[in-house]
Amino acid sequence: MKYNHLSSPLQFVSGFGPRKAKHLLSNLAKKQVDLILKREELERFLGPVVYRNAIGFIKINEMLHLDQIIDPQNYDHRWLDFTRIHPEHYDLAEKIATDCFDQPSKDTNLVLFKTLKDKLKT
């Protein structure tokens, strides 16, 4: 982890606890993982039940990514990883976003990128 002082609240995330949080951090350190870019990368470090319970409370730090992206339409990323929306509900959130902006569903990634970027500026 890049900032060790931010790891202590991990034990209070739903599905974790002190032992599971410590186990996750030690596995990340063993594999020399400094930066998690996608929520799905965490799945290989957690069991399926812990992942399902905890992942809605873990969000990827958007400030590390949004300003560096040149072509958001072709960027291989799930923009909803920057939110607290559970991955099981990504399809519904994407549908709401495209319906809200009257955009065809093929532009979902671009609509979500613009919405998140505008939200972070305010």
CATH no. for residue 29?
Answer: 1.10.150.850
What is the mean predicted confidence (pLDDT) over 68-85? 67
DSSP letters along the chain, please? ---GGGSGGGGGSTT--HHHHHHHHHHHHHTT-----SGGGGGGTS-HHHHHHHGGG----GGGTGGG-S-GGG----GGGGSS--GGGHHHHHHHHHHHTT--GGGHHHHHHHHHHHHHH-
Last residue of a domain, one of 57, 78, 101: 57
Into how many domains does the chain fold? 2
Whether residue 86 is found in the same domain as residue 73: yes
What residues make up the domain containing 114? 62-121
Instruction: Please tell me whether the overall predicted TM-score, pTM, comes out greater than 0.75 for this model.
Output: no
Per-residue pLDDT tens digits for 8-55: 888 898 888 889 888 888 888 888 877 777 888 888 888 888 889 888
Contact between residue 55 and residue 45 where contact means Cβ atoms under 8 Å apart: no
Same domain, residue pair 37 and 88: no
**What pLDDT, on the 0 to 100 scale, is given for residue 72?**
54
pLDDT digits (tens, 9 = 90+) for 96-121: 877 776 666 566 666 676 666 666 55
Query: How many other CB atoms are found less than 10 A from the CB of residue 101?
Result: 14
Mention every residue, 6+ apart, whose C-beta is less than 8 A from residue 106: none
**Same domain? 115 vs 67:** yes
Same domain, 74 and 46: no
73 and 50, same structural domain? Answer: no
Angle separating helix axes 90-100 and 108-121, nearest 10 degrees: 80
